[in-house]
Amino acid sequence: MAVYSSLLAPGLHKEPSFIDLLLHPVREWFDAIEVRDAQLARWLCRMIPAQCPFERDIKLFGHTLVHIPPMCKLNPLYEQFVGLRFRALCFLADECGEDVSAYC
């Protein structure tokens, strides 16, 4: 039951799915990663995109035919990747004094 309570958002009473239970330790592991190396931080900022790379507008003669929505939210670890990238950017900016605009 302790695992269930940590998986539920406040006010929600839904039982977590099997996938949520399976991915919970992985999510906690990602959230616990501390970025303390500039080289690792730069690599993370290059590897984890600032925005969803799958979102596209298909155009023909300047007119949008189809909009492909961002699919990153379908990734069950999306929030953890975004958080890890943010921690890497903060480390580079705050601890290393680097200009992080190249990663944005």
pTM of this structure: 0.73
CA distance 56 to 58: 6
CA distance 30 to 8: 18
Kindly report, residue by residue over 29-61, the tens digit of the pLDDT: 999 999 999 999 999 999 998 888 778 888 999
Number of domains, the chain: 1
Kindly report, residue by residue over 74-97, the tens digit of the pLDDT: 888 889 999 999 999 999 999 999
Read off the tokens for 60: 């023909």
Range of the domain at 16: 2-103
Contact (Cβ atoms closer than 8 angstroms) between residue 40 and residue 88: yes
